[in-house]
Each structure stands twice: as structure tokens, then as C-alpha cells.
Amino acid sequence: MSVNRFQFIGNLTRDADVQSTPGSRARGILDIAVTDTWRDAAGQKQEKTNYFRLKCWEKLAESAGKYLGKGSKVYVEGRLENTEHDRDGQKIYGIDFVLEQIEYLNTKPPAASQDGNRE
């Protein structure tokens, strides 16, 4: 058995970015901040924020672009995907966080829709 999953609850650090790729496929990029809190040995509250760039496709991307603005709180779930590309003759390796589910916990409209430009 294998498991390849991630789950985050966090806030968008900017409006969801949705663009069309070759072949008219919608691709969305969500940047989220996930803050961990704990108490240290002295009982003082500590925080650390991690930032993640997440990718989604088609209907999930279109919906995110329509409803998720900076500051929106979301629960996201998906899988990790290895990436590889060439840069100046060297192989560059990375990991994409590919979304399969988004739950809207507390949304804020994207900036474009705040001035009446929502479709």
C-alpha cells in the first residue's frame, strides 16, 4: 500500500491566480500560509508560518479564481508530484502540491470582484 497525500488549513496570501494553458485548460495557483502554534518549555506561545504554492486544474481552478481572494481561509487536500526540468543544461528537481479538494472555510472575494467585475 502507498499513500501520497497532504492536508493544510491556511489563508491565501494573495488572490487565486487562474490562467489558461495551451489547449484551453484552466490552471490555478494558490499561495497559502499555514501557521503552527505551540507553547515552549517556559509556557510562552510560539508561532511559525510556512508558505506553500499549490496547483489545481479545470473546474477546481475556475471556482477558486471566482471565489478565493487574499485572506480567504481554506482546507485543501491533494497529492505531491515530482517535477523535473532543464535550466542552463542542469536538471532542476522540485515537488508540486496538486490540489484535489478545496473546502472554503471563510472566503474573501478576489480584488477584481470587489469593484463589481465578478462574472
Q: What is the pLDDT along the chain (119 residues), one digit of tens a residue?
A: 999 999 999 999 999 999 987 777 899 999 999 999 999 999 999 999 999 999 999 999 999 999 999 999 999 999 999 999 899 999 999 999 999 999 999 999 998 765 544 44
Whether 64 is covered by a domain: the verdict is yes
Whether 119 is covered by a domain: the verdict is no
pLDDT value at residue 112 = 74
Do the beta carbons of residue 64 and residue 107 sit within 8 Å? no
CA distance 55 to 50: 17
Whether 33 is covered by a domain: the verdict is yes
Q: How many CA atoms lie within 13 A of 31 on its CB side?
A: 7
Whether 65 is covered by a domain: the verdict is yes
Q: Is the dihedral of CA 6, 12, 14, 17 positive or negative?
A: positive
pLDDT value at residue 117 = 47
pLDDT value at residue 119 = 45
Whether 88 is covered by a domain: the verdict is yes
Tell me how many domains the chain contains. Answer: 1
pLDDT value at residue 28 = 95
CATH code of the domain containing 19:
2.40.50.140
pLDDT value at residue 76 = 98
Q: What is the pTM of this model?
A: 0.83
Beta strand spans in 13-72 (E): 17-21, 25-39, 45-57
pLDDT value at residue 78 = 98
Residue showing cell 478545496: 102
The whole domain housing 107 covers 6-114
Do the beta carbons of residue 34 and residue 13 sit within 8 Å? no
